[in-house]
Amino acid sequence: MILSEISGSSMPIIAVYVGRFHPMGMHHYLTYVAASRIFGANDTYIVTSDTVKLPKSPLNFAEKEKIAIAHGVPEDKIVFCRSGYQPLELHQKIQRERKISDDEYAIVFIVGDKDMREDPRFSSLGGMTKPTKRNPVPRPRYMRMFPSDIRDLQPASKHGYVYTVPHVSYRLPNGDESSGTNLRNFLYASTPEQFEEAMGFFDQEIYDLLKDKFDPANLHGVSTLTEAKRSRSKLVHGQQAYSDYLEEIMSELQFIKKSYESTRKSGYRYRKEASKLQDAYSELRRLKRKNDKLLLAKSLNEHYSLGYSNVKISHEGDINREETRDFIRTFKP
């Protein structure tokens, strides 16, 4: 039975499972399932951010969302939030879809008992805030422990609550406990069969994605592109290596942009992010064209210095059509 039905609570209880999910493993999914059984599948959400920070956070929100859906989490229950424990975007979604304000529902954050014991964020629940210069008057802390009597729950506009669930221990095929680090290491070296045993599903696209994302060379910032990129501190404007490096980065940006899928499917936030990537791509293309122009100027000047005196080259990096046409007409190898 769902907890709110047992207690007869008239106020909806929204359960939130906050996580980094790099990637979501079976231990995460089973925790979500346990929360869904307690609070109801319709009222249980997973929230996560779009933060990518190597080596421990290599996945963006779109990639984490694909993995969660493959596990079996409904797409509409996976919500992007910049701050998991201040889930503004989730509140907006609930108020938009259910037509209720945060005065009309309670919010509960799902935490495993292992994290509850070890994470200092949960060591000072309840009580009053400490006075500061900005807020000199103490006030009740927003986050509290879940009450023993569900009828004591206050609406989300006043308080949020932490609900502790048993720690889920899931063993990977190699015997290690499933955790972020262990899972990344295991999946990188896994066969399709091992991947399925570890994750509970197999999807070729996700398999290929995670093999690439969890490659130690990529996680730790070791480039697999060109020597020019690895030695970018030595790159000099006006050299071919400079253009080569820019072209490599442009290719990477295009690859990343593809992860946002079609603009029709992804929605406004994804279109906005894709637009930022396109702006960066356009700026790099402008720099590359400028450098290529400079390279052409150098090449023309070299030919000019070999005796093609009828060709007049203006200052380096500023070749016009007339000069190029004169060079082609005059130069005879």
31 strand-pairing partners: none
Domain edge (last residue) among 165, 194, 216: 165
Domain edge (last residue) among 165, 181, 211: 165
Phi, psi values for residue 201, rounded to 5°: -155, 165
pLDDT > 90? residue 304: no
Q: How confident is the model at residue 329 (pLDDT cuts 50, 70, 90)?
A: low
Question: Sign of the CA dihedral 226, 229, 231, 237?
Answer: positive
300 in a domain, yes or no? yes
Q: How far apart are CA 285 and CA 282, in angstroms?
A: 5
Do residues 292 and 311 lie in contact, with contact meaning Cβ atoms separated by under 8 Å? no
61 in a domain, yes or no? yes
Token look-up 């023993």 returns 148
Q: Are residues 23 and 136 in the same domain?
A: yes
Q: How far apart are CA 309 and CA 328, in angstroms?
A: 13
Residue 37 has a pLDDT of 96
Phi, psi values for residue 165, rounded to 5°: -115, 155
* Average pLDDT rounded to a whole number, residues 105-116: 94
Q: Are residues 22 and 136 in the same domain?
A: yes
pLDDT > 70? residue 253: yes
Phi, psi values for residue 136, rounded to 5°: -70, -20
pLDDT > 50? residue 204: yes
Q: Are residues 67 and 157 in the same domain?
A: yes
Domain edge (last residue) among 134, 149, 165: 165
Give the DSSP letter of residue 154. P
Q: Are residues 65 and 159 in the same domain?
A: yes
186 in a domain, yes or no? no
Q: Which is it for strands 160-165 and 143-145: parallel, antiparallel or unpaired?
A: parallel
Q: Mean of the per-residue pLDDT values for the chain? A: 83
Please state the pTM of the whole predicted model: 0.66
206 versus 122: the higher-pLDDT residue is 206
Domain of 33?
3-165
314 versus 80: the higher-pLDDT residue is 80
Q: Are residues 159 and 263 in the same domain?
A: no
If one counts every other C-beta atom within 10 angstroms of the C-beta of residue 328, the result is 9
The helix (H) or strand (E) run that includes residue 116 is helix 113-118
**CATH number, domain containing residue 118:** 3.40.50
Q: How confident is the model at residue 333 (pLDDT cuts 50, 70, 90)?
A: very low
182 in a domain, yes or no? no
Residue 249 has a pLDDT of 81
321 in a domain, yes or no? yes
Q: How confident is the model at residue 20 (pLDDT cuts 50, 70, 90)?
A: very high
Do residues 304 and 330 lie in contact, with contact meaning Cβ atoms separated by under 8 Å? no
203 in a domain, yes or no? no
pLDDT > 60? residue 321: no
Q: Are residues 16 and 136 in the same domain?
A: yes
170 in a domain, yes or no? no
Q: Are residues 142 and 265 in the same domain?
A: no
Residue 6 has a pLDDT of 62
Number of structural domains, the chain? Answer: 2
Residue 269 has a pLDDT of 60
332 in a domain, yes or no? yes
Q: How confident is the model at residue 88 (pLDDT cuts 50, 70, 90)?
A: very high
Q: Are residues 153 and 293 in the same domain?
A: no
Stretch among 150-164, 172-186, 257-271 having the lowest mean pLDDT:
257-271
Residue 263 has a pLDDT of 44
Q: Are residues 262 and 157 in the same domain?
A: no
Q: Are residues 260 and 148 in the same domain?
A: no
**Percent of the chain whose pLDDT exceeds 70:** 78
Q: Are residues 156 and 37 in the same domain?
A: yes
Residue 281 has a pLDDT of 82
* Average pLDDT rounded to a whole number, residues 39-66: 96
pLDDT > 50? residue 295: yes
Q: Are residues 110 and 234 in the same domain?
A: no
